[in-house]
Amino acid sequence: MSTIAETILDFDGPTPRVVADLRNINFEIEHVRDDLEEVYSDKDLEQAYQLIMSNQVTGDDFKKLVGRSRYNAQTLFFEDIVVFLFSSDRYEAVFASFDYDGDFPVNELVARVSETDGDE
């Protein structure tokens, strides 16, 4: 398990829905919350992995365009779910999703991961 995934799972806050280490040719699900174990099929997870990784490739081009070599996190807010994508290496990342409401400690989680990210 990556240091980033461990940091997310050890974070003193809401329990993640899903945490996965995404590598350039495969992925490893590190955590699925008990109430969601039967919700996602292997096909769903593989499709999500393919979509996220294609975004990672174009994300590198976007970072160059705006003059940055690295970002701390991509964050997607949905009605009741928040998704984080923490880049670890080129074409590698950690995916984490949580139930979301206005009280979710977004900045605290991103700061915690950013502090430990150098340990990869």
Nearest-angstrom CA–CA distance, 30 and 7: 12
Closest of 91, 17, 89, 77 to residue 49, by C-alpha? 91
pLDDT tens per residue across span 69-115 = 556 788 999 999 999 999 877 678 899 999 999 899 999 999 999 88
Read off the tokens for 76.
């997607």
Query: Which CATH number do you get for residue 34?
Result: 3.30.450.30
Query: Do β-strands 18-22 and 92-99 pair in parallel, antiparallel, or remain unpaired?
Result: antiparallel
How many domains does the chain contain in total? 1
pLDDT of residue 71: 62
List the domain range (segments joined by +) for residue 38.
3-119
pLDDT of residue 36: 93
